[in-house]
Structure 1
Amino acid sequence: MTPTYHRALVVDDLASSRDWLSHSLQLAFPGVNIDTAASLAQAAQLIDPPPPLALIDLGLPDGSGISLIERLHRDTLCIVATVFDDDSHLFPALRAGAQGYVLKDQNTEALADMLRGIAAGQPPLSPSIARRLLRHFAAPVAPPPADTTDESNLTPRETEVLRLTAKGLTRQEVAGMLQLSTHTVAGYLKDIYRKLSIGSRAEATLEAARRGLVE
């Protein structure tokens, strides 16, 4: 039997993602009261008493969502909702006490189904994350080559999003080309801008040209 949640917390600095996550929670647990926060500082004002359920993004403007998970996990079902599908984000989140890890690459109804399943004790991971865990424990993973450049360590997916954005594509067009949701593309852009210390499409285009991604 799926537990019923009457209160939940959503922590994400993108308003569109907060709305999407809140809608999914309402579908999963009708009548749930939802508090939202755009930063760790805002979330800190909403966790006394701790919420029974929390959806937490990892890349927040004033720190990592992992620190919030560490504070809440003893009293709260903490579920990461993120665009990051790499080991460097997945495993620290699980070690911090996250009991679920879902990617922002699905529609509202699919996420609601996952949330109900996680609450009922079903596997608490997006399918691609579950496969990553299986690969991790199936065989030793060679360490990545040392980074010998002065680049800001963009992932291959972030590099592709940067390239398409610099070519003038909108978020919707980038999402269509890469078969991602607009929420996911928005999350990638947020992290690209943070990593590169830029704040506009024009700066992104200049940086892409410097890297040889566009002419």
Structure 2
Amino acid sequence: MDITQVLIIEDIPEISEWLAERVKQTFGVCNISQVDGVVAAKKSLHQTTWDLILLDLGLPDGNGVDLIRPLKTILPNCHCIVTTIFDDSGHIFPALSAGADGYLLKDEEEAEFCNSLRGILAGRPPLSSSIAQQVLLSLRRPIPSAAPTLTPREEEILVLIAKGYSCKDAAASLGVSYNTACGYLKNVYQKLQINSRAEATLKAIELGIVSTTDTP
């Protein structure tokens, strides 16, 4: 299948550009458009006949899952692939049930990501290898009834941000990719309903995970 019209729905500019480069690396020259939220994405669906849409789940103005069904209704031949940092069943199954054609993790190595992307469009299994393993594990064990407010990783990055680390430095400290660290931080902001580093610092103090002497 020729891929010429591509829409990337991702609110972190650096990650959006990373995805655009992977698309070019995989399919060559494409007309790539980038939007950063649900509202902008809905407008874009009617602008052209998209061949491929890469969709983040945690968008600032809504859940990316809610875009999948209308997207597939409007563009039934378009490949809609979720690109996310979420590897848990609570995100995987709703996205696939809504009609996503694939589910890839943004912190994969470049070559693996491109190979997975190419494979989905060629009809191979539509999941990152780690996601496929997660699906199998989820089928073998009960799904937890509730999740903590913040995951351990999300709490770690909140502490680092409160201490004055940049997202890049926090990624290095945690031993994860920049994309993954940004995704964790975005999820923290959404869960705690905050919008700035200052609010993050205050919230970390309020939660008791840092003290005023730890902050810059």
TM-score, normalising length: structure 2: 0.87
User: 5 Å matches for 1:84-99?
Assistant: 84-99=86-101
Shift of 1:145: 5.6
Matched AA of 1:30: G
Matched AA of 1:40: V
1:51 aligns with 2:50: yes
The percentage of counterpart residues that share the same residue type is 43
Task: Show CA shifts across 1:133-152 (max 9, x none).
Answer: 01112x231533687xxxxx
- Find the counterpart in structure 2 of residue 63 from structure 1: 62
* Contact kept? 2:15, 2:179, Cα under 8 Å: yes
Instruction: Give the one of 172, 185, 197 matched to 2:181.
Output: 185
1:189/1:142 CA distance change after superposition, 3 Å = closer
Shift of 1:205: 1.7
Shift of 1:65: 1.0
Task: Show CA shifts across 1:71-104 (max 9, x none).
Answer: 1233321110112122211111010011111112
Q: Which shifted more, 26-35 or 189-198?
A: 189-198
Segments of structure 2 that go 5 or more residues without pairing to the other structure are 212-216
* Contact kept? 2:4, 2:30, Cα under 8 Å: yes
* Contact kept? 1:106, 1:181, Cα under 8 Å: no
* Contact kept? 2:4, 2:31, Cα under 8 Å: yes
- Find the counterpart in structure 2 of residue 21 from structure 1: 19
- Find the counterpart in structure 2 of residue 150 from structure 1: none
1:145/1:82 CA distance change after superposition, 3 Å = closer
Q: 4+ residue stretches of structure 1 with deviation over 6 A?
A: none
Matched AA of 1:66: V
- Find the counterpart in structure 1 of residue 214 from structure 2: none
1:143 aligns with 2:144: yes
Q: What is the alpha-carbon root mean square deviation over aligned residues?
A: 1.9
- Find the counterpart in structure 1 of residue 103 from structure 2: 101
